[in-house]
């Protein structure tokens, strides 16, 4: 049965369920490029990150469909090779192909390639590149090989107000920073900025601190589906017990995972902070007191709040509201946004590809938008783009950092 409304990341089934879809791919090539109606030149046209970097058809959706067809044949028409594995695990799960193809052909390429990862892990074992982060999630509830205790360290460094412990006090809103904000030094400021914004807006919020556990997104995206399911069940139990009305997160991955992979099982609304901020600005509860200098910004749509959650306008509205920021779009934006290259476990599996695609994205920011600052709302994007920008003139920042700076005080 064709699901014309197949959502990205939801109800990802067994690989055999996608065999018919694999037959139906007509190799039209629309999934390789931005919407043909939006093409205005010969630049910034291509849109499959693994295809852009690796070039062979095998790394594009049509090629992966053929791999699915071969692997689900009886007997299978393909066995393990490094190239096969590479083609499977360099899909970032950006969702571009499914967003496009599902609307007129009913196929679910992204979901099927997610299933393909799960199939590969079961058949040939989890990749060594991913083993470490999966074990880390199991042992430490985060993919960063860091102990649990420092998870709340960023909050203890917030001195001008106290952040409530949602595990001990009843709060209206749970702020869920996620693993990146908690453990990655470049992303710590996002957690602090988010907390500060919520505080200044008078929101009754709290965090779980070191009791917070990974949303499981990383496990899911690298194809460790069983592990993710176990994690999901535990998280649902813990989070529902808090009695909050809203969960706010600044991580696009967490947002997408809670909003889609946990859909229907949570007793509260899941909101990305950028939508919250937009609301606060509209309600007059959030004011900017400082004008920023020399910020020629462009916005990079993260896949997980962009195509996955259709949040396109809120970050732009917020960015345009910040005094002193000049804003110009790139070419590949919104539904056409080019993935930063690091999703789906690619950052650890194929770091060359992750950096290569990120460099292409930064080049677009420079040439198409004349930007000196790339702004985004996803720590994975910011980490990867930041690595590619290192040593150059381009800055990569989270929108929250600009908001916090412009709020002054």
Partner 1 sequence: MPTGINTENLAIVLEKLQNAIGKQWVSDDPAHLASYSRDFTIVPGRWPNIVVLPGSTEDVQKIIKIAAEHEVPVVPMSTGFNHGGLCIPLHGGIMVDLIKRMDKVLNLDEETLTITIQPGVRNAVTYAMANHRCCVDDVPMAAAVSLSMGSTSTLANYIGRGIPGSEVKYGDSTEAIVGMTWVLPDGEILKTGTPAVPNVGIIPIAYGPGPDIGGMFINASGMFGICTEITIKLFPEKGKERLYIFDAKVKERSLEKALEFLIQLSQQALAEFIYKSHGGQTVNMIIDPDNPYPPGAMCEFLPEDPVIVSILGETEEELDIKEEILMDLAAECGLYALDMKGLTEQIFKGAPNPFERKARSQIGKAIGSVLRRGAFQWYSCNVKADPIPEMASKFFRLVEKYWKPTDPKISRHATMSGTDIQGPHPFARNFMFEVDFWWDQANPEDVKRAAVLLRKTGELILEHGAQPWRNMYRHGELHLPRLGTYLDILKQTKREFDPNNLMHPDIEPVTDDYI
- Summarize as ranges the residues that interact with partner 1 (CB under 8 A): 2, 4-5, 19-20, 23-30, 32-33, 36-37, 39-42, 45, 51, 55-58, 62-64, 66-67, 69-70, 77-79, 81-84, 87, 103-106
In the complex, the smallest distance separating the C-beta of residue 374 from partner 1, rounded to whole angstroms, is 25
Smallest gap from Cβ 328 to partner 1, in A, equals 18
Of 46, 49, 132, nearest to 331 (Cα)?
A: 46
Shortest Å, Cβ 307 to partner 1: 16
Of the pair 81, 283, the CB lying nearest partner 1 is at 81
Least CB distance from residue 131 to partner 1, whole Å? 22
Q: Which is nearer to partner 1, 28 or 390 (CB)?
A: 28
Output 62 or 195, the one with its CB closest to partner 1: 62
Nearer Cβ to partner 1 (4/390): 4
Q: Give the integer Cα–Cα distance in Å for 56 and 63.
A: 8
Q: Cβ of residue 123: shortest distance to partner 1, in angstroms?
A: 14
User: How near is the Cβ of 204 to partner 1 at its closest, in Å?
Assistant: 39
For partner 1, the closer of residues 77 and 329 by Cβ is 77
CB of 31 to partner 1, least distance (A): 8
Closest CB to partner 1 among residues 35, 165? 35
**Cβ distance to partner 1 smaller for residue 101 or 137:** 101
- Which of residues 187 and 368 has its CB atom nearest to partner 1 in the complex? 368
- Least distance from partner 1 to the Cβ atom of residue 330, Å: 16
Of 5 and 159, CB closest to partner 1 = 5
Q: SS in 3 state form for the chain?
A: CCCCCCCCCCCCCCHHHHHHHHHHCCCCCHHHECCHHHCCCCCCCECCHHHHHHCCHHHCHHHHHHHHHHHCCCCCCCCCCHHHHHHHHCCCCCCHHHHHHHHHHCCCHHHHHHHHHHHHHHHHCCCHHHHHHHHHHHHHCCCCCCCCHHHHHHHHCCCCCCCEECCCCCCCEEEECHHHHHHCCCCHHHHHHHHHHHHHCCCCEEECHHHCCCCCHHHHHCCCHHHHHHHHHHHHHHHHCCCCCEEEECCHHHHHHHHHHCCCCCCCEEEEHHHHHHHHHHCCCCCCCCCCCCEEEEECCCCCCCCCCCCCHHHHHHHHHCCCEEECCCCCCHHHCCCCCCCCCHHHHCHHHHHHHHHHHHHHHHHHHCCCEEEECCHHHHHHHHHHHCCCCCEEEEHHHHHHHHHCC
Exposure of 258 in the CB half-sphere (CA atoms within 13 A): 30
**Least distance in Å: CB of 85 to partner 1?**
8
């Amino acid at each position: 049965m064709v699901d014309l409304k197949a959502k990205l990341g939801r109800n990802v089934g067994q690989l055999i369920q996608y065999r018919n879809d694999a037959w139906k791919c007509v190799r039209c090539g629309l999934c390789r490029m931005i919407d043909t109606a939006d093409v205005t030149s010969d630049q910034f046209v291509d849109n499959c990150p693994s295809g852009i970097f690796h070039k062979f058809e095998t790394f594009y959706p049509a090629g992966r469909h053929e791999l699915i067809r071969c692997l689900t044949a009886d007997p299978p028409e393909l066995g393990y090779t490094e190239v096969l594995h590479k083609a499977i695990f360099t899909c970032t799960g950006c969702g571009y192909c499914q967003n496009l193809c599902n609307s007129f052909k009913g196929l679910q390429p992204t979901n099927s390639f997610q299933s393909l990862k799960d199939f590969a892990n079961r058949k040939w074992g989890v990749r060594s590149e991913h083993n470490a982060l999966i074990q880390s999630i199991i042992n430490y509830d985060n993919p960063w090989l860091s102990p649990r205790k420092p998870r709340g360290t960023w909050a203890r460094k917030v001195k001008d107000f106290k952040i409530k412990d949602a595990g001990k006090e009843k709060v209206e809103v749970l702020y869920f920073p996620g693993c990146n904000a908690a453990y990655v030094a470049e992303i710590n400021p996002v957690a602090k900025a988010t907390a500060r914004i919520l505080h200044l807006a008078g929101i009754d919020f709290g965090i779980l601190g070191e009791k917070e556990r990974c949303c499981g997104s990383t496990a899911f995206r690298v194809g460790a589906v069983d592990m993710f399911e176990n994690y999901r069940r535990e998280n649902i139990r813990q989070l529902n017990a808090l009695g909050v009305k809203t969960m706010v997160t600044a991580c696009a991955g967490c947002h997408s995972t809670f909003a889609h992979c946990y859909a229907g099982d949570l007793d509260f609304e899941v909101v990305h902070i950028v939508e919250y901020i937009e609301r606060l600005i509209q309600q007059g509860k959030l004011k900017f007191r400082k004008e920023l200098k020399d910020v020629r910004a462009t916005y990079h749509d993260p896949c997980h709040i962009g195509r996955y959650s259709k949040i396109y306008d809120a970050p732009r509205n917020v960015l345009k509201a910040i005094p002193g920021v000049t804003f110009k779009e790139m070419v590949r934006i919104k539904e056409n946004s080019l993935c930063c290259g690091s999703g789906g476990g690619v950052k650890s599996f194929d770091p060359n590809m992750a950096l290569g695609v990120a460099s292409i994205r930064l080049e677009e920011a420079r040439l198409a938008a004349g930007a000196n600052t790339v702004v985004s709302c996803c720590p994975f994007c910011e980490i990867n783009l930041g690595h590619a920008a290192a040593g150059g003139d381009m800055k990569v920042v989270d929108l929250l950092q600009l908001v916090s700076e412009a709020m002054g005080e």
